[in-house]
Amino acid sequence: MALNYRAHAEESGLEVPPDPVLFFKPPSALTGHRSEIRPPARTKHVEHEVELAVVIGTRCRDVPADEWRRVVAGYTIVNDLTARDLQLINHGRNVPWDQAKAFDGFAPLGPYLVTADAVPDPSGLEMTLTIDGEVRQHARTAQMVFGIPRLIEDLTDGMTLEPGDVIATGTTAGIAPVSDGDEMHATITGLGTLRNRVLLG
């Protein structure tokens, strides 16, 4: 989900959207904990985005907001890597920018799937991204513009979600470029720390 934290919208110079904004990442973007990320040479500016990931547990469509819990298997961490230079070019051309999010390895996920019963309040989690001990991003999931019930209701309105589908719920302020050799530590309360190193060039 794009622009789902007010602070991130403001740092991007964009308005908070009136409704959830969706983009897609292909399965080939997924990679695991401790895997190395090798962005393609076509991008020179890759940024990190720590996000709470909601994993769907059952085939579902047209889910009312007050029934969202019945379709959630659990939660994990996703780092929504973005080729910001390519994304901004496409923004300027007023064309879709999914490709800037979709390269191989641009969706590190993990390190665990924590079942829904172990996370009674996913709106009360703290998330942080650090590189070399420097805090780049820090927020609480309560700061989402659209919470998980609204996201699931909106996404399933006419669209079927399948078991294993992942909803990346948006990032907060602090997005910044990564350098060659950087190890990103994406942490969310109770979900662990997702670690991935970036190799450029």
pLDDT at 12: 85
pLDDT at 51: 98
Query: Above 90 in pLDDT, residue 147?
Result: yes
What is the tens place of the pLDDT at every residue in 9-35?
A: 888 887 889 999 999 999 999 999 999
pTM assigned to the model: 0.96
pLDDT at 14: 79
First-residue to last-residue Cα distance in the chain:
29
Q: What is the mean pLDDT of residues 115-128?
A: 97
What is the tens place of the pLDDT at every residue in 58-117?
A: 999 999 999 999 999 999 999 999 999 999 999 889 888 889 999 999 999 999 999 999
pLDDT at 56: 98
Query: Above 80 in pLDDT, residue 201?
Result: no
Residue with tokens 């209701």: 153
Residue with tokens 């996913």: 122
Q: How many Å apart are CA 186 and CA 78, to the nearest integer?
A: 8
Q: Where are the domains of the chain?
A: 6-198
Q: How many CA atoms lie less than 13 Å away from 176 in the CB half-sphere?
A: 13
Q: Which CATH class is domain 6-198?
A: alpha beta
| Distance, C-alpha 199 to centroid of its chain | 20
Residue 97 to residues 92, 93, 169: CA-CA distances in angstroms? Answer: 10, 10, 18
Q: How many Å apart are CA 48 and CA 134, to the nearest integer?
A: 13
- The total number of residues shown for the chain amounts to 201
pLDDT at 89: 94
Name the percent of the chain lying above pLDDT 90.
91
Name the percent of the chain lying above pLDDT 70.
100
Query: Above 80 in pLDDT, residue 199?
Result: yes
> Under a CB-based contact definition with an 8 Å cutoff, are residues 40 and 176 in contact?
no
